[in-house]
Amino acid sequence: MKRREIIKNLSVLPFAGSFLPSASLAGNVEESKSLASGLSIGPDIYASIGVEPIINCRGTFTIIGGSVERPEVIAAMKAASGYFIQYDELAFGVGRRLAEVTGAEWGMVSSGCAAGLKHVTAACVTGGNPEKLIRIPDLSGLEKTEVVIPAYSRNVYDHAIRNIGVKVITVDTAEELDRALNSQTALIYIMAGNESEIGQPLSLEVIAGLAKPKNIPILVDAAAEVLTIPNVHLARGATIVAYSGGKAICGPQCAGLLLGNKDLLMSAWQASAPHHGPGRDDKVGKEEMMGMLAAVEAWVTRDHQAEWKTWLTYLDTIAKRVAKIDGVTVAVHEPTELSNKSPVLNITWDPDKLHINADEIAEDFARKKPRIAIGSTNEERKTSLNITSGQMQPGNDKIVADRIFAILSQERSPRSDAMIAPKVKINGHWDVTVAFFNSSSTHKLYLEQDGNWIQGTHTSDFSTQEIAGMIEGDQVKLRSSLRRPGDGISYMFSGTVSESEISGSIYLGEYLNAKFTAKRTSYKRERKRVVIPGGPPLAT
């Protein structure tokens, strides 16, 4: 699974962790004590505000809280919270210590990996010149205004780079890359992963071979990777490598780690808070800085083999329980790649025999207690649950095993493919008003109906894409997907239809929800014969 895989299942839900405040600031608070506001400091902290925690069988996704912070991290953050320091001195001390621990030339802590990408881009654009820095995102008059990105590295997180105002040049081949590099190139950005590995057409080595002679920095995004010491990306030619603090390293969720060239990282620090300018909104606290350093120091002393064995034990508990069900097979996958490195249990069955598929189970687990975030995949006559154990906690394995066993061993009637006949013909043109949280837009639908099935086009604010779906009775469900380099939005319409109107809601995935009302459009135009001239015009 690649770094920060875009959420594909509805089973990925919010979840987070916390730490107790410093006694010097909050007093000695017992875990079971509730504050006057009703907040309970302890195991029920989320439930006390009406938020139900989940069991994480998906991995280090930010939307469910990343990872659980190491005890060393919590202790360092608690200790750091009771004192004042000068931030530049702190950054220098942390940078020097990170260099000592990791073997990199220098280190920096940002307020997350994406913020680190933003700060490095600003540093490459400005060269550490504050007069250039405060002009961002207006880059007129600046020399370094372009960032080159291989097509395989375009992703939703390169918004952090685009936020600086640069022009992104996307390339597919080494030849295109070579032609794209010029005096305006500020940076080359790539994502760590299979397509940047040795032997690939645009590997890091190939890129470095073209960039180094022209003194163009290379930024490698290794957000979800395990930390390598000495760093493999720097050894292969990267200038800077960026990690998420709250993923594999188990540091603060709102911290990122940058390693590499000292001068460039000092410029990146200059471009971040507490300094004013375009990075002031990406503040990293002194607590997170010390917590991130503690996480890196802990990384070199952790028993990673013992952790891996523990994760395998969790999967073994689940596998032994569910393997007793007829028709169910289990297999453990132990990945060797650096990103999202955790063993995964695949539980597979024929949905036509057990009369349920993995997507349905993932949705059930997401909505009912105990809530479990779990992966699912579907193929022809084959469906599977995918359990990633790297962020599971002691005792989770037994809960998950019992829950999966109960739902898979339940007797069900065979599925019926029969659909309710449509009450309305939905084909035609529709003008759609979409109500977002604090604005509205006008979209258009052109729909063709074949029985229960619908297809057509959806014109949104800035794009037109295919749409498809179904109608049963007066209930309609449609889906379209907007795709552009680095980005994607899914529109999932669910509504009630009459002869002249459709109304309901739009599920926008990570962008939450909107409401919509669609009115049928009738076109009354004069019908005239079309005459095609027999040759070129004699006048305009």
**Per residue in 286-316, pLDDT tens?**
999 999 999 999 999 999 999 999 999 999 9
Angle between helices 358-367 and 396-408 (to 10 degrees): 130
Is there a single domain that holds both residue 283 and residue 337? no
Q: How many domains does the chain have?
A: 3
Buried b (16+ CB within 10 A) or exposed e, 293-305: bbbbbbbeeeeee
Return all residues near 188 (Cβ < 8 A) that are at least 6 apart: 147, 148, 149, 177, 181, 207, 211, 216, 217, 218, 219
Q: How confident is the model at residue 540 (pLDDT cuts 50, 70, 90)?
A: confident
Helix (H) and strand (E) counts for the chain?
Answer: 15, 20
- Residue 410 CA, distance from chain mean position: 34
Domain membership of residue 8 (yes or no) is no
Q: Which of 1-5, 106-110, 137-141, 292-296 has the lowest mean pLDDT?
A: 1-5
Which amino acid is residue 392, in one-letter code? M
Is there a single domain that holds both residue 113 and residue 252? yes
User: What is the mean predicted confidence (pLDDT) over 276-287?
Assistant: 95
How far apart CA 125 and CA 161 sit, in angstroms, is: 11
306 membership: H or E segment, kind and range: helix 304-322
Each residue of 438-468: pLDDT tens digit?
999 999 999 999 999 999 999 999 999 999 9
* pLDDT for position 8: 38
* pLDDT for position 481: 96
Domain membership of residue 35 (yes or no) is no
* pLDDT for position 486: 86
Q: Is the dihedral of CA 137, 144, 219, 153 positive or negative?
A: positive
- 3-class DSSP state for residue 331? strand
More confident residue, 42 or 287: 287
Domain membership of residue 10 (yes or no) is no
How far apart CA 404 and CA 387 sit, in angstroms, is: 11
How far apart CA 251 and CA 71 sit, in angstroms, is: 10
CATH number (domain holding residue 91) = 3.40.640.10
- Three-state secondary structure along 494-524? EEEECCCEEEEEEECHHHCEEEEEEEEECCC
* pLDDT for position 523: 73
* pLDDT for position 415: 83
Query: In 3D, which of 527, 472, 494, 92 has the Cα closest to residue 266?
Result: 92
What range does the domain containing 356 cover? Answer: 304-408
Is there a single domain that holds both residue 308 and residue 457? no
User: What is the mean predicted confidence (pLDDT) over 240-263?
Assistant: 97
More confident residue, 31 or 124: 124
Is there a single domain that holds both residue 447 and residue 366? no
Q: CA gyration radius for the chain?
A: 27
The average confidence (pLDDT) of the chain is 92
How far apart CA 159 and CA 486 sit, in angstroms, is: 8
* pLDDT for position 380: 83
Indicate whether this model's pTM tops 0.85: yes
Domain membership of residue 50 (yes or no) is no
Is there a single domain that holds both residue 346 and residue 395? yes
How far apart CA 473 and CA 456 sit, in angstroms, is: 20
Is there a single domain that holds both residue 105 and residue 234? yes
